[in-house]
Amino acid sequence: MKLENLAAVASTVFAITALLGGCGTDAAYAQAPTQRASATSTAPSCDDVFGAIIEMERSAADYTEQLNDLFGYFSERSDCGPQWDVLIGYVSNKGMLTNGYLTCADLLYYNQNPLSIELLRQDGLCEPLVEPVNTPPASPAVQSAPQPATAPVRKDYLDWDEAYRHIGTYQVVCGPLASTGGSNDDVFLNLGKAYPNPDRFTVVLWDVGRIGNLPIGTTVCATGTIDTYKDQVQIQVWDINQVQVSN
């Protein structure tokens, strides 16, 4: 990381510890962030926070603690939705590309944010994607008979017992409610299997207070990045709107 960018990141982190405020413009998310953060009398803009996180993610230094603080702060900024979406697409797919689990073509297939893909391209993880060349159709004399479509029907969500195959990606995961739990203002929704079955999928809702009584068997869908805690597959959410229920 460049020295001048270190100063920018530091000022952003410092400002976040004390202030809340408005969101900046969203015109250049996918550009390499430079000196965009500065200590001001108002909260850092959405672009400032976004730029600071990208700088840290790309740095060889260990910024784990600062990143955790910034992610927690950024997730609560309701005015930074577009930047948050780009960031999640970048961070959640970076490891999958690095480990060879996904390709850039896969990201397009799954409708990932093109600005997230551009950031990954800047990191050298994606080559510029070229549109496929259209080949002319075969002449009538040799054209084969039409074949039935064999492409599988795509779902817009993952079943709870599929989630472990998609750790590190941003998904919608659905399943039947098997049990619930909680601690203070935090709520745990266990899908598919009840606690303490290790095969369950858990939706962790932080600081949401009480959410009312949900009948066992209710279909619950959660949107977020799939991760693990002590080998337990889960999605963590800080916004109740990331969870939908239906009978």
Among 64, 52, 91, 75, which Cα is nearest to 170's?
91
User: For residue 64, what is the enclosing H or E element?
Assistant: helix 64-75
Reported as a single tens digit per residue, the pLDDT across 11-31 is 555 555 444 333 333 333 444
pLDDT for the residue 34: 39
pLDDT for the residue 59: 86
- For the segment(s) 158-246, the CATH number from 2.30.30.360, 2.40.50.140, 2.40.10.120, 3.40.50.960 is 2.40.50.140
Helix (H, G, I), strand (E, B) or coil at 10: helix
Gyration radius of the chain's alpha carbons:
21
**Cis bond upstream, residue 196 (ω within 30):** yes
Q: 218: alpha, beta or left, given left = phi > 0 and alpha = psi -120 to 50?
A: beta
Residue 160 has, within 13 A of its CA and on its CB side, a CA count of 23
Angstrom distance (rounded) from CA 29 to CA 78: 17
Helix (H, G, I), strand (E, B) or coil at 227: strand
Residues 172-199, mean pLDDT to the nearest whole number:
90
Q: Which residues contact 238 (CB under 8 A, 6 or more apart)?
A: 72, 75, 76, 205, 206, 207
Q: Which residues contact 246 (CB under 8 A, 6 or more apart)?
A: 218, 219, 221
Residues of the chain with CATH 2.40.50.140: 158-246
Using CA of residue 206, residue 212, residue 216, residue 219, what is the dihedral sign?
A: negative
Q: How far is CA 247 from the centre of its chain?
A: 27
Using CA of residue 205, residue 42, residue 65, residue 59, what is the dihedral sign?
A: positive
Single pTM value for the model: 0.44
**Count of H helices and E strands in the chain?**
6, 7
Lookup: tokens for 92: 């959640």
Reported as a single tens digit per residue, the pLDDT across 58-84 is 888 888 888 777 887 888 888 888 888
Lookup: tokens for 127: 């080559």
Reported as a single tens digit per residue, the pLDDT across 123-138 is 888 766 444 444 444 4
Residues 93-99, mean pLDDT to the nearest whole number:
73
pLDDT for the residue 200: 94
